[in-house]
Amino acid sequence: MQEEIQIPLDEILSSKGRVRILVLLSNAIELNISEIARRAGLNYATTDRHLKGLEEAGIIRQKKFGRIRIYKFNDSSPRAHAIKKLVDTWK
Q: Which string of b and e fits 11-42 if b means at least 16 CB within 10 Å?
A: ebeebebbbbbbbbbbeeeebebeebbebbeb
Name the β-bridge partners of 65: 68
Task: Tell me how far apart the alpha carbons of residues 76 and 37 are, in angstroms, rounded to a whole number.
Answer: 25
Mean pLDDT of the chain: 91
In tens digits, the chain (91 residues) has pLDDT values of: 556 677 778 788 889 999 999 999 998 889 999 999 999 999 999 999 999 999 999 999 999 999 999 999 998 999 999 999 999 998 7
Longest Cα–Cα distance of the chain, Å, equals 36
**pLDDT value, residue 63:** 95
What pLDDT score does 61 carry? 96
H/E element holding 60?
strand 60-65
Q: What is the spatial distance between Cα 35 and Cα 69, in angstroms, rounded to a whole number?
A: 11
Give all domains of the chain, ordered by start, each with its CATH number.
Answer: 9-90 (1.10.10.10)
